[in-house]
Amino acid sequence: MEVTPYTETEYSLVRTNGSAQRLPPIHSAESGSRNDNLPSYVINNTRYVLQPSNVIRDAADHQVGQLDSWPANASGGSGAHRGLALTTQDRLVPVGANLRGKLDSTPKPRFLAIIEEYLYSELKALGVEEPVANDARLQVFREVFSAVIDDFKTYRPLLSMIKNEYEMMLVHLNDKVHELEPLRHRLVLLSDECDKKLMQFRKEERDDMALLKEEKKRLQQMIRHLTNQNQNLEANIQRLQEEVSNQYELYRKELDSRKLLINDANDLRAQQEKHTDVKEAVDDQGAKKEDTIMMKIALRQARKDLDIALAKITYMEANYNDVVPRRDFVTLEAKSNEYLERIKEFQELIDNQTRDIEQLRTQNDNLREDIQSLQREKDELSMKNENIHEGMTPRPAWHLAGEVIDGGVERWQGITANKTSQEKLVALLNEFTGGNDENGNQTSSNAVPDQLSPRGEGEQVPFHLRSTKSVKNRRLTRRDVAVLIQEIWTERRSSNNQEGRAKTLSEFVYEYLRNRYGNHNTAIEMGYNLDYACKRFKHNENCQLFSQILSGEADEAIYHTTKNLIEQLAERVIKESETHPNGSVTIEQFTEMLKKYLPDKPSSDIIELVAAAEKEQPSEEQIALAKLFSVDDEDNYGEFVRLLKRQLNQDKQRYIHDVQEKIENSNSVNAKDMEQAIRAVNPHIRHNELVHIVQWIFEAKDGSQVPSMNVHDVLQRLQNGVFYRQHTLSS
């Protein structure tokens, strides 16, 4: 940093009518050539010029022989440019211009008074009187300080050093600001990049978590399936073992029974042999009575044989008690081998399933470790995200934009899904300037023409569009269109009350625009721009309805009927609430009012209306009815009235559906059939209302009446006409 030392220079004295000379304007191009020879200093290649010493000196201050005798002049009131003011005690006191009307009771040197007066006059001329940081204000003080330095020659070196130090520090701080400005922009870009990366990480994390959860569910299902198979196999093995045991017990019982039969047969045979031997012995005794000795010998021998037979039977029972027949043994052995093979197969299957279960458990443990690792990474990323957000500008609450744009929160969420903050900002700006189509996509600049093509002057052309010349596209914004439509409706309703509806809305719009802009060409140009803007902003409810009525597609009575219903309801409930403090009522009182003045509405609709009123005034303990029916300059109401309109439309759709059921089997419908169908659905309809509906349905474009129409056209005309059941208030 190079500072040019201050050099003293003589300047010629300039006199202007005895008053102090004004400093040249700040940054003036004309003063560039005159400042080339003035004393200056350079800081960071910036040249700062010191003003000449005579710019704030009074002419009398340079007269020879006149000295400022301060503070002796304080008693004499010889201050510069002082005036006199009369106090409430009838005393004249001096008033200084630099005190802004306050009493000047403080004695000052003449040079100090002059320099203060110059300072305040310059600040007032530049409009920087408030003590706020400003370059122009700093320049004025810089010039005054330079004049002080120039006047006090003894302190000039020290004051110049002080001034140079302040100037160098200001330049240094400005350089720092310029250096940090790109860093701020870079920080904003880095913040957006971090948001995008964080959203990407979260998306990948959600996808990975979803895949891992699906894999975990699949493995758990497989484990449950294998566990069920294992339990079934164990149950089958147990059942087979029980069958083998039962078969063995049956064969054991059968063998026992066979042993008993063998024993009984042996006993019977022995007894028979015994009887036979005895009989033979008796016969022999009878035959040979004399041979007693032989009989004794035979009896003894028979006893020995019997003992031997009994010993053999005992031996057989002892050694062959568990013996079964061979064919039974072979059958049992075959079944046993078959069961053993099946048991081996089941055991191998159990072993394989056990290994699979262990493998699945291992995979499950690994997945749990992966999930824990991902959770730790998620926590780290969340912590980094919190740290980043703490050091960054907080994100805007974009959801609040859905409450002010056309279509509400649902449409705003639809057009800003998966968009960055920059894209959301562009979409919001385009929504207010008409740069979006009805789906929220940004329209190209080429899609908006500079000139609007004429439609001609035929009878079929609406009255406000009858022209053969192209007109300039003024590119009206949505707010401009909404305010203009509201003004047209206000004037239209006023003229209807005075003159009736002799003119169509198209003719009235032309006359209104001609009276407003003063000539035919401008009225036609604004008519084309209004028609084009209404079609461009057709997603707006008010613009869409106005465009349909203007083109003759919808009945004008739709607007007036709905508006009259809202105003009459507002008038009655507000008038009734005047007896309450501040015009506010409780929820119960408001509910009773709605039931009283809207008797045709079901209780569910009343509950919805009360809930909408509470939502519209969430911080209020009671409902302020005047706020509830307030409307802005675009004819937009709050949530309560918007819900009331939606309920009217729902009632209209149900009404049309009931009429459709009466006429859907007919090929064509005439006026008489239409009257009968409407009376069948709504027997309490008033006669004038029924006549208006039938005339609207069967009215042709040229004003004549059509004898009959098909069902589709009749339903379409009902959609665009005044067709309500709940549009009247109780008397």
DSSP string, 95-162: EEGGGTTSB--S---HHHHHHHHHHHHHHHHHT--SS---HHHHHHHHHHHHHHHHH-SSSHHHHHHH
Q: What is the mean pLDDT of residues 570-579?
A: 86
The verdict on 79 and 213 lying in the same domain is: no
Residue 81 burial (CB < 10 Å; 0-12/13-18/19+)?
middle
Q: Which domain holds residue 660?
A: 559-719
Do residue 408 and residue 348 come from a single domain?
A: no
* Residues 569 and 495 placed together within one structural domain of the fold: no
Residue 191 lies in a domain: no
- Between 436 and 136, where is the model more confident? 136
Quote the tokens at residue 438: 């009805």
CA distance 243 to 617: 80
In tens, the pLDDT along 253-289 reads: 776 766 676 776 677 677 667 666 666 665 665 565 6
> H helices of 391-465, where?
408-415, 421-433
DSSP-derived letter for residue 557 is H
- Residue 529, pLDDT score: 92
Strand-pair partners of 42: 47
Choosing from 493, 527, 553, the residue where a domain stops is: 553
Task: Classify 322 as helix, strand or coil.
Answer: coil
Same domain, 502 and 643: no
Check pLDDT > 80 for residue 322. Answer: no
Is residue 350 a part of any domain in this protein? yes
- Dig out the tokens for 350 from the structure: 């159990």
Are 49 and 40 in contact, with CB atoms under 8 Å apart?
A: yes
Whether residue 574 contacts residue 625, with contact meaning beta carbons closer than 8 Å, is answered with yes
Output the average pLDDT for the chain: 77
Q: Is residue 177, in this structure, part of any structural domain at all?
A: no
590 and 691 fall within a common domain: yes
In contact, 674 and 714? CB cutoff 8 Å: yes
Is the same domain home to 232 and 319? yes
Q: Which two tokens stand for residue 578?
A: 């005047």
**Which one, of 49, 43, 48, 50, lies nearest residue 2 by Cα?**
43
Domain assignment of residue 728, yes or no: no
Number of domains in the chain: 5
Q: Which residues of 18-51 are buried (b: 16+ CB within 10 A; e: fewer)?
A: eebbebeeeeeeebeeebeeebebebeeeebbbb
- Residues of the chain by 3-state class (helix, strand, coil), percent to 5: 65, 5, 30
Report whether 263 contacts 318 (CB < 8 A): no
- Of 523, 553, 583, the residue at which a domain comes to its end is 553
Whether residue 494 sits in one domain with residue 422: no
Residue 113 and residue 228 share a domain: no
| Shared-domain flag, residues 545 and 587 | no
Determine the residue type at 693: I
Q: Is 274 found in the same domain as 351?
A: yes
pLDDT tens digits for 391-417? Answer: 666 667 776 676 666 666 777 777 777
What are 327's two structure tokens?
A: 């064919």
* DSSP state at residue 392: S
Would you call the peptide bond into 394 cis, given omega within 30 degrees of 0 as the criterion?
Answer: no
Lowest mean pLDDT of 83-97, 206-220, 698-712, name the range. 83-97
The mean per-residue pLDDT over the stretch 493-506 comes to: 72
Is 20 part of a structural domain of the chain? no
Supply the DSSP symbol for 439: T
- Report pLDDT digits (tens) over 607-652: 998 898 888 888 777 888 888 888 888 888 888 888 888 988 888 8
Q: Which of 4-13, 26-35, 144-153, 307-316 has the highest average model confidence (pLDDT)?
A: 144-153
- Hey, what are 80's tokens? 């510069």
- Establish if 176 belongs to a structural domain: no
52 within some domain:
yes
User: Tokens for 18?
Assistant: 């005895």
Residues 6 or more apart whose CB falls under 8 angstroms from that of 678 comprise 659, 685, 690, 693, 694
Q: How far apart are CA 339 and CA 346, in angstroms?
A: 10
Mean of the pLDDT values across residues 92-97?
A: 48
The Cα–Cα gap between 718 and 694 comes to: 9
CB 524 within 8 A of CB 532: no
Burial of 149 (0-12, 13-18, 19+ CB in 10 A): buried
Report yes or no on 391 lying in a domain: no
Considering the domain architecture, whether residues 415 and 564 belong to the same structural domain is answered as: no
Of the three residues 120, 153, 186, the one that is the final residue of a domain is 153
Task: Name the residue with higher pLDDT: 33 or 608.
Answer: 608
- Statement to judge: residues 294 and 231 lie in one domain: yes
User: Is the distance from CB of 116 to CB of 81 less than 8 angstroms?
Assistant: no
- Asked if the model's pLDDT at residue 27 lies above 80, the reply is no
